[in-house]
Amino acid sequence: MAQNFKMVVHQNAETLHLRLEGDFDGSSAYELLNALEERCRFAQKAFIHTGGLRQVHTFGLSVFHAHLNGLKHCGRCRPLHFTGDHAQKLAPEQSQFATGS
């Protein structure tokens, strides 16, 4: 994992918020995928906030996009909502963009 990657998680009864910070690489992608797998079943909406990312590595994007559709428990909170400067880069085609970061 990128040494400076950090994910801050906030969840209530209906909404999951994942705030990404630092550099997004392959290991960071797996960390995000694992968080979605573990927590999406308990939320109706999931927001991935990308405003804290400094760099998004191509390999990290490839890993994230390749494995996102394979998540078993993420159907309840789909589509995912992406915010921030790197939202369009991280978001797969079926995702939605929210305003803010």
pTM, full prediction: 0.86
What is the distance between the alpha carbons of residues 41 and 29, in angstroms, rounded to a whole number? 19
* Domain 6-97 in this protein, CATH class: alpha beta
What are the average pLDDT values for consecutive 10-residue runs of the chain, which has 101 residues? 86 92 96 92 90 96 89 71 93 61 44
**Annotated domain spans of the chain:** 6-97
What is the distance between the alpha carbons of residues 63 and 89, in angstroms, rounded to a whole number? 13
Res 42: pLDDT: 82
What is the distance between the alpha carbons of residues 24 and 49, in angstroms, rounded to a whole number? 12
What is the distance between the alpha carbons of residues 36 and 69, in angstroms, rounded to a whole number? 11
